[in-house]
Structure 1
Amino acid sequence: MSKLRKQHMAIEWHDIVNTESDIPAKNASLQEKASLVGRVGLMMLSVGTAAWRVRASMNKISRALGITCNADIGLLSIEYTCISGSETYTNAISINTTGVNTDKLNELEHFADGFADRAEKYSVQQFHMILDKFQDMKGNYKALSLGLASALACCAFTFLLGGGIIEMICAFFGAGIGNFVRKKLLERHITLFANVAAGVASACCTYVIFIKLAELLMGVSAIHQAGYICSMLFVIPGFPLITGGMDLAKLDLRSGLERITYALLIIIVATLTGWLCATLFHFYPQDFEAYELDPLLRTVFIMITSFCGVYGFSLMFNSTKKMAATAGLIGMCANTLRLELIDLAGVHVGLAAFIGALSAGLLASAIHHWIGYPRITLTVPSIVIMVPGMFMYKGVYYIVINDITTGEMWLTKAVLIVTALPLGLIFARILTDKNFRKSS
């Protein structure tokens, strides 16, 4: 077998700079300054943040170095030009894949914020050595821990969607094993379509095994098969869907469209894999079995499961436990408000999603100065639980079996909610951040 050759060649950043020089970065050559600007931008891009945040970090570095930078940013690549007087330096750089890492995002944000204070003290080589440490940061959690985080999130999600204890238990094991399998494949650098399909198939098959055992050993009704959809919801790409919408709002059309396309690819592969598994095992997306709960007790359970769901998803984004708990508290308030508006006030699901996301954005803006986390590390995880993964699956399922009318109904609901979520965060940011509010 021939040796694997990487399609995206690694950039040797230390070869670009004079490693022997101790000249402060502010006095370095334009090429060396541009290497810092580009590397910071590329690392910001790799952690899954929106293009306008990538550009903002590149601008902070550029201003501190006394140069001007213009950048065109996509999902995986950046083309940028640095200008100093009559000199210009243009570069095109890219990464091989994308993901979400809120802990590294937080560290990079702090690095960019404090860069100006060190630009006249540290050399370009010293800055690259600092960035090397960020580059080498390992994930906070192993595959088993991420499987448990996914299990917790999808178990909570199941209750919020109307499932009972049987569906919650089966979804817990299904999602846990599914995300564990996907993480193991990601560690081996298996390509996107394969790791998504394998993760979803593992989750669905695990759910089937557990529900069939429950039917055989405990006489559980077949109606509990409806929860198999919940076991695969860990794969729904809420982060790129929401950041893509935010990029569109800032007219970063290239990045916004690329992110949404990336999210759609995952959704299509995941839903078609789920449909195939359902067809093989003769499972159908039925309604959950109805059960009665005291209204006050129901609200308490909604708050608990909303917190658990957001906490689990935040851990999957590599948030620290403190960051995940903070996002969980915000999500608990925002999602409980959303669901109560729908159930008690009869508010349309799209409007309720907008209000829920708006409240999450306002809460994060109110506290982020005290806790020191970038808002996006709190806001997006706190509303990912509102992304209508079940609606997306049902829409694709019914279209595949030629029930176009029903499929269109579910997909329309999904589109309305997915559109409303970033809009809520956008308007929260407009209200609380003058830099975001203005076109500049």
Structure 2
Amino acid sequence: MADSRAQLTETLDVLLRFGALMLRAGDTAFRVREAMARLAGNMGIENLSLQVTLDAMSATIRRQGETATLTCDVGAPGINAARIGALERLAEASTPGLTPDALGQALDRIERGSPLHALPTVAIAIGLASGAFSYLNGGDLLATGAAVVAGAVGQAGRGLMFRHQLNQYAVTAVCAVIASGLYCLIVFGLAGRGFSAPLAVGFISSALFLVPGFPLVASLLDLVQHQTLAGVARLFYAIMILLAAAFGLSAVAAVAGLTDVSAPAAAVGPDAMTVVWRAVASFAGGCGFALLYNSPLRTVLTVGLLSLIGNELRLALHDLGLILPAATFVGALVVGLLASLGKHWLHEPRICFTVPGIIIMTPGILAFRTIVLLNDGNVLAAIEAGAGCCFIVGGMALGLATARFMSERRWIVER
């Protein structure tokens, strides 16, 4: 009896370790439940009851009349697309008769895996993504070039700080200061202290890499799937990251004396070369964020293509007169639907395609106006700009969620 209870506890312990690794890599709580349920069934578990939050998990299992209950800490959240893919493939490939030792050894191999891309490679990719974002939102040559340099340096600094396991919120605030401060130094050194609308776009673009896209989208998907505790916890985690970034940007904006600017006028009927350069910028932005999330190379290229298609469609619809939130919804919807095909060909989770594929749609100039207006004490105007920003971000998330409803029956039918 004692040996049987010990084996049951060992089984639950390795199952919780698997789930904690999935959550810490950034996967959604409902996917963690599905994967753990599959593994539990293949390990002879008759029933699995699971409670998931962002920083802890507790579970009870039953087998042949015996039960075991354990709780584990998850640890600090992060984003690792390669690990998410490896863990989900491990669960899908499992077969009846799986033992705790075999699962533990597989988890050891996954945990020992090194980052797929070196820190300088990721920093350069994020710099190019920051420049691409600046160009797509109306930044001029100086703004785009300065955003490339500032974004790359900011990401390099964040990577080095994370190696020492520093607090994520503090690192975010410091890197926002580093990136935006360097951007202002470059711009002021070359163009003086005047800050036009195109230069304002570059300011927010320099800190684009701090946007917590993965947690924001994952929280929405969890809430739609009734994973309320995990969804709300992840949402507030993402909000705290945004507040930390906003704090750093606000400090620099206040010191630099930046004032509010209006958004650049949207182009109507862009010429062929503009369309081509927008496509190049969208592709570069998608690839940059896929590299940041530690995706395999073929996933990086697929994300770049999805970003190109979705963002070009969004911008084209906006050029034709559709309001930006609605155009963003359509662009994100197309990215989500195409990702449903890509995940079957490349055997990677859908979230590894969709989130980096839509980050380039982030409303940068509205975010900038919100921060600057709050600094100036113009609360009503800041709320107006912030509401516009929220509607566009909501369009991004709802587009991906709608794609799930359209492509997966289990999202429509509740059990």
CA contact (8 A) 2:304 2:357 kept: yes
Q: Which residue of 1 aligns with 2:118?
A: 142
Give the unaligned 5+ runs of structure 2: none
Residue aligned with 2:166, SS: coil
Q: Which residue of 1 aligns with 2:377?
A: 402
Cα distance in structure 1, aligned partners of 2:195 and 2:395: 35
* Residue-by-residue CA offset, 1:195-216 (whole Å, 9 max, x unaligned): 0111111101211222123237
State the one-letter code of the partner of 1:295. Answer: D
CA contact (8 A) 1:271 1:393 kept: no
State the one-letter code of the partner of 1:140. Answer: L
Cα distance in structure 1, aligned partners of 2:343 and 2:227: 25
Cα distance in structure 1, aligned partners of 2:166 and 2:25: 18
The alpha-carbon distance between structure 1 residues 87 and 389, as it changes in their structure 2 partners (threshold 3 A), is farther
Cα distance in structure 1, aligned partners of 2:60 and 2:398: 31
Residue aligned with 2:207, SS: helix
Out of 286, 289, 293, the position equivalent to 1:313 is 289
> Which segment is superposed worse, 355-364 or 30-39?
30-39
CA contact (8 A) 2:134 2:144 kept: yes
Structure 1 residue 289 displacement after superposition: 6.6
The alpha-carbon distance between structure 1 residues 394 and 290, as it changes in their structure 2 partners (threshold 3 A), is closer
The alpha-carbon distance between structure 1 residues 179 and 436, as it changes in their structure 2 partners (threshold 3 A), is same
Out of 235, 250, 256, the position equivalent to 1:275 is 250
> Which segment is superposed worse, 372-381 or 166-175?
372-381
Q: Which residue of 2 aligns with 1:82?
A: 61
Q: Which residue of 1 aligns with 2:141?
A: 165
* Residue-by-residue CA offset, 1:55-74 (whole Å, 9 max, x unaligned): 11111101212322121212
Give the unaligned 5+ runs of structure 1: 1-17
CA contact (8 A) 1:238 1:387 kept: no
1:40 and 2:18 aligned: yes
CA contact (8 A) 2:127 2:152 kept: yes
Structure 1 residue 266 displacement after superposition: 1.1
CA contact (8 A) 1:153 1:309 kept: yes
Residue aligned with 1:107, SS: helix
> Which segment is superposed worse, 245-254 or 207-216?
207-216
Residue aligned with 2:161, SS: helix
Residue aligned with 1:374, SS: coil
Q: Which residue of 2 aligns with 1:414?
A: 389
The alpha-carbon distance between structure 1 residues 291 and 367, as it changes in their structure 2 partners (threshold 3 A), is closer
* Residue-by-residue CA offset, 1:306-360 (whole Å, 9 max, x unaligned): 110011011000112211110110111011111111121x222222222111111
CA contact (8 A) 2:140 2:199 kept: no
Superposition map of 1:242-391 within 5 A: 242-287=217-262, 294-344=270-320, 346-391=321-366
Q: Which residue of 2 aligns with 1:97?
A: 76
* Misfit runs of 4+, over 4 Å: 287-294
State the one-letter code of the partner of 1:391. Answer: L
Q: Which residue of 1 aligns with 2:151?
A: 175
Q: Which residue of 1 aligns with 2:177?
A: 201
Q: Which residue of 2 aligns with 1:60?
A: 38
Cα distance in structure 1, aligned partners of 2:266 and 2:368: 24
Cα distance in structure 2, aligned partners of 1:411 and 1:392: 7
Structure 1 residue 157 displacement after superposition: 0.5
Structure 1 residue 285 displacement after superposition: 4.6
Equivalenced residues, count: 409
Structure 1 residue 28 displacement after superposition: 9.0
Residue aligned with 2:303, SS: helix
* Residue-by-residue CA offset, 1:185-228 (whole Å, 9 max, x unaligned): 11111102220111111101211222123237xxx975364222
Out of 383, 398, 407, the position equivalent to 1:423 is 398
Cα distance in structure 1, aligned partners of 2:334 and 2:270: 26
Structure 1 residue 287 displacement after superposition: 4.2
Structure 1 residue 295 displacement after superposition: 2.2
Identity in percent: 28
Cα distance in structure 2, aligned partners of 1:83 and 1:29: 12
Cα distance in structure 2, aligned partners of 1:318 and 1:178: 17
CA contact (8 A) 1:233 1:390 kept: no
CA contact (8 A) 2:253 2:372 kept: no
Structure 1 residue 253 displacement after superposition: 1.1
Cα distance in structure 2, aligned partners of 1:294 and 1:422: 27
Structure 1 residue 418 displacement after superposition: 2.1
State the one-letter code of the partner of 2:82. Answer: D
1:49 and 2:31 aligned: no
* Residue-by-residue CA offset, 1:383-433 (whole Å, 9 max, x unaligned): 122233442342233123211121011111122122222221122112111
